[in-house]
Amino acid sequence: MGRPCFWDPSGDRHGGTPTYPWRMAPAGLLTRRQLRARGLRPGGQPVAGQILWRSRRTTTGVRAAYLYRLTLAKPVRPMTPGRAAALAKANAARRTCPECGTDAGYVLPAHLGTCLPCADAAELLASGCHPQAVAA
């Protein structure tokens, strides 16, 4: 069985929210990802439970996934032409370099803020080397 500290189907120890260990949620309660895989969304329903598990990725050492009732889930809203255009525009902005203005063909690294050729050129200039001198 899972960790006993995470087994609380009545919610007495976890603020009234039924809590289950990893892979121990009852049938009929699904996470957002599980709903999405079935073409569904929570649809405004309240959280029906949670799954808790230990993890070193957080400062508290515990991660959570919220559960929703399958019977109350609604179908995913269809993609409208306006939403598709807005999504395409947002993705294009993530690929466009602010320095040279070209579409890099990939999402620009956030830590660089530019495409890789522009970042390399800036690094060479900062180190005192001129890009044309290096190319020769």
Domain limits, the chain: 4-75, 81-135
CA 92 to chain centre: 19
pLDDT at res. 61: 86
pLDDT at res. 130: 59
Report how far apart the first and last C-alpha atoms of the chain are (Å, whole number): 66
pLDDT at res. 1: 46
For the chain, list residues with pLDDT below 70: 1-3, 129-136
Which residue matches tokens 């890009």? Answer: 131
Distance CA 79, CA 20 (A): 34
- pTM, 2 dp: 0.65
Distance CA 58, CA 18 (A): 22
